[in-house]
Every structure is written in structure tokens, then in C-alpha cells.
A and B are shown apart, each in its own frame.
Chain A
Amino acid sequence: MIAAPRLRGLLLMAPAGAFVALAFLLPLAILLSGSFQAEDGQLGVQRYVQFFADPLNREVFLRTLRIGFLVTLASVILGYVAALAIVDLDPGSRGRVIGLVTLPIMISPVARTYAWIVLLGRTGLVNSVAHEFGFTDAPLRLLYTEPAVFLGLLQLLLPLIILPLVSALENVPRDAVPAARMLGAGWWTIFVRILLPLSREGLGVGGVLVFTGAITAYITPAMLGGAKVLMLETLLYQRVNVTDDIATATVITALLVAMSVVAKALLNRIARGRPLGRGRAR
């Protein structure tokens, strides 16, 4: 027998669960199952073999992983730099700065990415400044390159790690850092021994958001990468809507979902403070 409140709880959850299951999970499951079905209807991984046999697909897959990893790494570094500075501020200006960090999340990604097109062109601001200061002899091609996509994604996703890191670091006892300083600990020791362990959860949450955001973003690679710098999302869109190739699309779908889930599991483990590669302590 289930107790009455628990039963009531089940009833209250049911609509949301049923709706998401029907209007989201079921169609997705059907699409994913298609990736394990070969053209002749047999079950197997044949489609994956075909997918990875194509050198373009391999390259796009690796590029997606690479960009996802680099964007996550850069956001973690910049995120800590910003978050540590933010928690050092007095409460009033801290609120204002957090507001400024939140702001870009609310602005349409289309608008935000559009700015990079203006910035990165050969006669754009970046090239003019670089030329002015003598860094470059001739304007560089920046648009439609991997660095352009990297920059666009970094700017898009950085706030998503700053905010959880700030929440996590705010919980670090106020006197922990000065105490460690007095005991002669260096900057790096303080970070690794005190700040990092205490902000692991924020790191995990933010890291997942940034990595999955980077590998699943559509607008940024579409606008800044174009056809020369395809990522899995833009390749998927092209396969579906330009070449009408659903088979490849289902494989990409499965890869993207798998990558998100694996990243989530890995970073959750980091967040719980367990070293990678060892079993659960429970």
C-alpha cells in the first residue's frame, strides 16, 4: 500500500510526466531507435559504421568534441577568474555585476552571434585594431574559421558557468582564505586545496551546461562556421533539410544525446568529489 500523500504526489506529477513522455520522449526514442536499424530492416550498428566510414563525418565529429572541450576548458578558467572576483565584491556591486553577467543569457542568441559577424570580418573591428597596433601586416580571415565558432560559443556560454560558480564560492567560509594565507599557503595551494573542493558542485553544474551547450548549439556554428566549419548540429540540419538523409540524421542524434549524457555523468562525478575511474563509494 502506498500512503495517501505519496499517491496524491503521483497524481500531481502524472500530467507533467505523461506530457513530456508523449510530446518529447516517445518521438525521440523512435527517432533514436531508427539509428540501430539498417536499410534492410535488420537491427545492428551498420548505420554507425557507415557514418564513421565517411571522412567528413569523422572530421565533424572530432571537431565537435574538440570545440566542446576547448570551450568548456576556457569557460572554466575564465569562469573561476570572474567568479572569484565577483565574490570579493561588496554585496551591492556584486548584485549589479551578477545582473550584468545574467544579461547576455536573456538576449537572443541570434542577436548576440550577429555581432561577431560585424566584429570578425576583414574590415571589422578586430582586424582594424590588430592592424593599428601592428600585430598583423594584412587583415586575417577570421570569419568561417574554428576560432570564430570557439569565440562565439565561449561568449554565449560563459555566463552559464559563472553563475553556479559564484553561488558555490559564496558558501566558502569568509575566513578560510585569509586563514590559509596567514599559514603561508600560496595562491595555487589555496585554489586547489580550498576553493576547488568547495566549489566542485558549481563546477559540475556549470561544466555540463557549457559542454552540452557547445556541442548542441545550432545558431553559432551556422552563422560563424558556415559550410566550411560544420559541427554535428549543422551537419544534422544539412542532412535533413538539404540532402533529405534521415539515416545519417538519426546517427548524429544518437551521438549528440550520448555525448551529453556521458558529459553529464562525468562532470557529476567530478562535482561529487569522486576521482574519475573509481567506482561509486556507496
Chain B
Amino acid sequence: MTMRPWAIAALVAVLLFLLGPFLIIVGAGLSAGETLTFPPEGLSLRWVWAVLQVDTLRHAFAISFSLAVLSTLGALALGIPAAYALERLDPPGAGAIRALVTAPLVVPGIVVGLALLRYFVIPLGIGIRPALLMSHTALLVPYTVRVVAASLRNLRVDIEEAAILLGASPLTAFVSVVMPNIRNGIVAAFILSFITSFNQVPVSLFLAGPGVSTLPIEMLARIDFTYDPSIAALSALLALLSIAIVFVAERLLGLSRYV
């Protein structure tokens, strides 16, 4: 096919629109000046260094990171069996369950946060940390179900049936035949869920409490009263972290297929 120059030009423009702001935030974060500006007033790592010294941000990072890993594992534990059942076992009520587990995708986060705080966390007397963990897990289940189901769909059924015919129990067949073959799907689900939880704002906004705050919430709060480039520097750091993850994931398993 012929490459049409205008198509390429349009593509470059779209990419610039998508990635330009990110480049700007990196530039602003590397500024040597006192205030947030672009182009930056000279280059330095001083704000990157400064932002790493802030206790509350470090603590919030630890909370966000551990929350993201734990809720992702929880969502995988719930999602993998459900995806397998939906794809292979044709259970009664599959349609309803499919709709149910994908529901968190269409409901606005603010609403979820409010509903969970008022009618789940407070009536049941759930602590702040378990509440955050449970809400994030519920939010991530749709992602794990969808991605794992998609990779199961690409896996031929007969391998597994062969294993069962040869005398393996369904569980053994799943662990030794199915699991290795959908490993990429599971890893993709893990990365997608991790990033979704790590960047989550509205739900956590309602459920966070004394001593427990997540990184994006702390960032939003600091944007309200800091005018220096420190949050830009932090944004740049986080973005670089994401890029590293995405690059590795794309190389290894073509993550974008699952988004």
C-alpha cells in the first residue's frame, strides 16, 4: 500500500497532541526555577530531589503501591475462575454475572465512592484500609475478567480436553495446561489492574482517611497549595515509571491488545 504523506502528518499531529503535554510536564519538572513554567528556567534535578524528601508523599506512595498490588491480586483471585467459568463451562446465569462484573466500568468513580462510604463501609464498620482494599478489588474485577477471558478465548479447548481424557483432574488440567498458556493474559491483567488502582482518584477520595492517603490524592491536594515545580517533577517520575512498565510489557506481550 502506498504511504500517503498527509495520513502520516495527521498521525504525527495526533501523537503530538497525546504526548506533548507529557513532554511539557517533564520539562517543567526539570526546571531550576522557583515556579511552574514552560519552557523551564534552566535545567536541574532539584525539584525531583526535593519531592523525594517529602514524608507524606513517600508514605502515600507506599500505600498506593501496596494497595495496587494487593487489590490486583484479589481481583485476579476472583476474576480468573470467573473468566474460566464464563468462557468454558457455560454456567446458568452467565449473562447476568457477565453484566454484573463489568458494571463497575460504567459507573462514575465519585458515585462508587459515595455509595460505598455511606452504605457499605460505615454501616458495616469497616476500617479505612480494608475499605480501600475491598473497593479497589471490586473496581478491578471487570478488568481481570475481561482480559483473562479474552486470552482464554484464543486458547484452543482441545488441549485441555486431551489432558482430562489422559486422566488429569480438571484442576490439574487447569493449573498445568491452561495457566501456562494464558500467562500473558494474566500478566496483562495484572499490569492493567495495577495501573488502574494506582491512578484511581474518585473512589479513594471518599474512602481515604486519617493516616491513609493515596499518592494521586496527595498530589491533587498539594497542587492546591504548591506553586513550585515539585508536583510536575513527581508527575514526570511517575510517568517514567509507567513508560518503563508499558515498554517492557509491550515488548513481552503486546499489552495494547488488551486495553
Contact = CB atoms under 8 A, between A and B. Distances in A.
A212 to B, nearest CB: 6
Contact of A10 (B92, B118, B235, B245): B92
Contact of B138 (A20, A30, A154): A20
B232 interface: yes
B38 A233 contact: no
Interface string A90-112: 00000101111111111111111
Given A31-B118, A118-B28, A100 B82 contact: no
Contacts of B231: 114
A178 B39 CA distance: 46
Contacts of A261: 106
Interface stretch (B45-53, B175-183, B194-202): B194-202
Interface string B53-83: 0000000000000000000000000110110
Nearest to B119: A27
B111 A257 contact: yes
Interface residues of A, number: 88
Most-contacted residue by chain A among B37, B79, B97 (CB, 10 A): B97
A56 interface: no
Given A27-B119, A102-B256, A118-B36, A20 B103 contact: yes
Q: Is the interface of B mostly helix, strand, loop or mixed?
A: helix
Nearest to B199: A108
A119 interface: yes
B14 interface: yes
Contacts of B152: none
Interface string B101-120: 10111111111101110111
B3 to A, nearest CB: 6
Classify chain B: how many residues form its interface, as a range: 35 or more
Q: For A19, A88, A162, which residue has the most chain B Cβ atoms within 10 angstroms?
A: A19
Interface in A1-34: 2, 5-13, 15-17, 19-28, 30-31
A78 interface: yes
A2 B170 CA distance: 18
Interface string B201-232: 11001000000000010011001000000011
A19 B107 contact: no
A69 interface: no
Contact of A112 (B10, B22, B170): B22
Interface in A114-159: 114-119, 123-125, 154-155, 158-159
A236 B170 contact: no
Contacts of A27: 115-116, 118-120
B166 interface: no
A275 B205 CA distance: 41
29 contacts: A9-B88, A16-B141, A24-B112, A24-B116, A27-B118, A27-B120, A28-B111, A31-B119, A78-B17, A88-B3, A97-B11, A98-B256, A102-B250, A103-B242, A106-B242, A106-B243, A107-B243, A108-B239, A110-B199, A112-B22, A115-B21, A116-B21, A117-B36, A163-B259, A219-B201, A219-B220, A256-B107, A257-B107, A260-B106
